Amino acid sequence: MKLNSYKHYWTRKLFLAFLSTVLLLLNTGVVAQENFRILLSNDDGIESPLLHALQRELAALPDVEVIVSAPNVNQSGSSQSSTASLNVERYSLNGSFFGHAVHGRPADAVRFGIVELGKDEKFDLVVSGINLGANVGDVSHGSGTVGAAMEAVYQGVPGIAVSQDTEGVDTRASAKFAAGIVQQFRERGMPSDTVLSINIPRGELKGVLVRPMGDSYLKTLAYHAGEKTGELTYYERERIIAQSNDSDSDTYAYQNGYISVTPLTFDWTDYQMLETLESWDLDLVD
127-150: b (≥16 Cβ within 10 Å) or e: bbbbbbbbbbbebbbbbbbbbbbb
Indicate if 160 and 21 belong to the same structural domain.
no
Whether residue 226 lies inside any domain: the answer is no
Indicate if 165 and 71 belong to the same structural domain.
yes
Indicate if 200 and 84 belong to the same structural domain.
yes
Whether residue 233 lies inside any domain: the answer is no
Instruction: Give residue 23's domain range.
Output: 1-32
Asked whether 53 and 82 are in contact (CB, 8 A), the reply is no
Indicate if 112 and 190 belong to the same structural domain.
yes
Can you tell me the distance from the alpha carbon of 276 to that of 273, in angstroms, rounded to the nearest whole number? 5
Whether residue 56 lies inside any domain: the answer is yes
Indicate if 132 and 12 belong to the same structural domain.
no
Whether residue 151 lies inside any domain: the answer is yes
First to last CA, the chain: 93
Whether residue 239 lies inside any domain: the answer is no
Indicate if 42 and 24 belong to the same structural domain.
no
Q: Is the pTM of this model over 0.75?
A: yes
* 140: DSSP letter: G
Strand partners, 88: 102
Indicate if 15 and 75 belong to the same structural domain.
no
How many domains would you assign to the chain?
Answer: 2
**CA-based nearest residue to 135, from 51, 93, 78:** 78
Indicate if 197 and 165 belong to the same structural domain.
yes
Indicate if 200 and 120 belong to the same structural domain.
yes
What CATH number has the domain bearing residue 73?
Answer: 3.40.1210.10
Q: What is the DSSP string of 16-47?
A: HHHHHHHHHHHHHT----PPEEEEEE-SS-TT
User: Would you give per-residue pLDDT tens digits along the chain (286 residues)?
Assistant: 444 444 444 445 444 444 444 444 444 443 334 689 999 999 999 999 999 999 999 999 999 999 999 999 999 999 998 898 999 999 999 999 999 999 999 999 999 999 999 999 999 999 999 999 999 999 999 999 999 999 999 999 999 999 999 999 999 999 999 999 999 999 999 999 999 999 999 999 999 999 999 999 999 999 999 999 999 999 999 999 999 999 999 999 999 999 999 999 999 999 999 999 999 989 888 7
Whether residue 228 lies inside any domain: the answer is no
Can you tell me the distance from the alpha carbon of 247 to that of 188, in angstroms, rounded to the nearest whole number? 28
Indicate if 22 and 80 belong to the same structural domain.
no
Indicate if 18 and 95 belong to the same structural domain.
no
Q: In degrees rounded to 5, what are phi and psi of residue 179?
A: -65, -35
Can you tell me the distance from the alpha carbon of 29 to that of 15, in angstroms, rounded to the nearest whole number? 21
